[in-house]
């Protein structure tokens, strides 16, 4: 996994030291969070810009080690244009005993969705962004992978409006039958079944993405902004209303007693929650507004049994205009480790397992070549925007103020003033 002595150099990035292969030059911090620190860099071998992610203390305990292994395995197995591509993996440490740092090299995008979600998007751009998210989710779900941490900061875009999903450290394979801790997913985007400690299925991702994120695009603000997990539930029922008795009966007794003792809320109509003025003004005879609102009403559903699936969302009139079977129905990824979630190892065993998988990855990458050429269909090019890489005010996203991206086509994402 590591190369010969002398192939690495160190550079200070904020409070962290990056010790990277010499092929990666011009490192600049572009993001940080609980999972690690990310820099942009120039890959002088491939001649392309890349993102270099240093995982945050991957071997401090077994949970972090398993999270690092999970992200590596899942990034290796996915192969879809709307999922971030893993290019390289390395560590500067020579021996297993010294092994402490793990670096993932991935495609470099222009901005996170945080930086465009509140811009004045028209229906064409909004629906295309949502379509791409759904295609990426569909690819993951086809292999039983549930992302579990979908939020604007884990979705990245380029100036041509192409989009990719990243960060798989908290993902799970659906074949594992367990309950999700409510502290996993970022609070504002937690589905009701997560807040209430219920078992979950794939459409837990749909609440986060097409429900909360699409709603945020339309409304211009976070839909459910709770101060803690209890207040988060309160925000949900105040807006969507008290759920049905059938839903209540599926809750654990202690949770059910709490929920049933809350005041009864009728909920807010979707016409009031998302009024006409909140939608883009380019709606043809209000048809697109109605379609967008209808999609939201099918996603922002408390009971997961009544929430539509990713397949149904892709076939919804608001999204289906972009439908391409090669994108929406791409072959499912093949997970190399079928016992991924059942594995329990010591720290040293996790190190050895990660080291082995990294070697396999780099061997395969060498056989496949290093091309990362764009596969955007010609008919979908020309989506351009100005993005000001200014500090976004979001935890995990500190963007250098001097960087600007301009696409020569059309200024459809207007810079915020």
Own/partner contacts of 189-197, CB < 8 Å, gap of 24 or more, are 189/150, 189/151, 189/213, 190/229, 190/232, 191/304, 192/233, 192/236, 192/243, 192/302, 192/303, 192/304, 193/304, 195/229, 195/232, 195/233, 195/236, 196/233, 196/251, 196/255, 196/259, 197/252, 197/255
In whole angstroms, give the CA distance from residue 400 to residue 30. Answer: 7
In whole angstroms, give the CA distance from residue 8 to residue 341. Answer: 33
Q: Where are the alpha helices (DSSP H) in 119-171?
A: 123-141
Total count of residues recorded for the chain: 417
Residue 53: beta bridge partners? 38, 104
**Residue 382, both tokens:** 């020309």
Sign of CA dihedral 356, 359, 363, 366: positive
76 touches 86 (CB < 8 A): yes
Establish whether 272 is a catalytic residue: no
What number of other Cβ atoms are within 10 A of residue 6's Cβ?
A: 7
39 touches 30 (CB < 8 A): yes
Q: Which of 43, 149, 205, 337 is catalytic?
A: 149
Active-site amino acid positions: 149
């Amino acid at each position: 996994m590591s190369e010969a002595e002398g192939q690495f150099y160190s550079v200070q990035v904020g409070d962290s030291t990056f010790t990277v292969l010499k092929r990666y030059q011009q490192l600049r911090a572009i993001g940080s969070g609980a999972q690690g620190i990310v820099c942009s860099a120039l890959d002088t071998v491939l001649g392309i810009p890349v993102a270099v992610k240093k995982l945050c203390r991957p071997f401090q305990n077994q949970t972090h080690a398993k999270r690092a292994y999970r992200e590596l395995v899942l990034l290796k197995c996915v192969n879809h244009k709307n999922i971030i591509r893993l290019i390289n993996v390395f560590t500067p440490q020579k021996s297993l005993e010294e092994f402490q740092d793990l670096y993932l090299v991935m495609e470099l995008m222009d901005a996170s969705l945080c930086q465009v979600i509140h811009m004045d998007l028209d229906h064409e751009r909004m629906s295309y962004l949502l379509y791409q998210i759904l295609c990426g989710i569909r690819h993951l779900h086809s292999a039983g992978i549930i992302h579990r941490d979908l939020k604007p900061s884990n979705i990245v875009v380029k100036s041509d409006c192409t989009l990719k999903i990243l960060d798989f450290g908290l993902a799970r394979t659906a074949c594992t039958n367990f309950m999700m801790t409510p502290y996993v997913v970022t609070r504002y985007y937690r589905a009701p079944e997560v807040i209430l400690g219920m078992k979950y299925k794939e459409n837990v991702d749909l609440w986060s993405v097409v429900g909360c994120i699409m709603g945020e695009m339309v409304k211009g603000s976070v839909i459910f902004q709770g101060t803690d997990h209890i207040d988060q539930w309160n925000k949900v029922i105040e807006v969507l209303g008290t759920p049905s008795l059938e839903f209540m009966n599926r809750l654990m007794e202690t949770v059910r007693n709490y929920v049933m003792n809350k005041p009864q809320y009728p909920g807010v109509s979707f016409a009031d929650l998302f009024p006409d003025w909140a939608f883009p003004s380019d709606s043809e005879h209000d048809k697109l507004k109605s379609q967008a609102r209808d999609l939201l009403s099918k996603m922002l559903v408390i009971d997961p049994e009544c929430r539509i699936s990713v397949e149904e969302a892709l076939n919804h009139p608001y999204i289906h205009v972009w439908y391409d079977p090669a994108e929406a129905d791409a072959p499912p990824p093949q997970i190399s480790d079928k016992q991924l979630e059942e594995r329990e190892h010591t720290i040293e065993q996790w190190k050895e397992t990660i080291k082995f998988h990294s070697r396999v990855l780099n061997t395969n990458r060498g056989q496949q070549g290093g091309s990362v050429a764009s596969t955007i269909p010609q008919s979908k090019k020309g989506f351009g925007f100005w993005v000001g890489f200014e500090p976004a005010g979001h935890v995990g996203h500190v963007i250098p103020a001097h960087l600007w991206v301009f696409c020569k086509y059309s200024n459809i994402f207007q810079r915020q003033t």
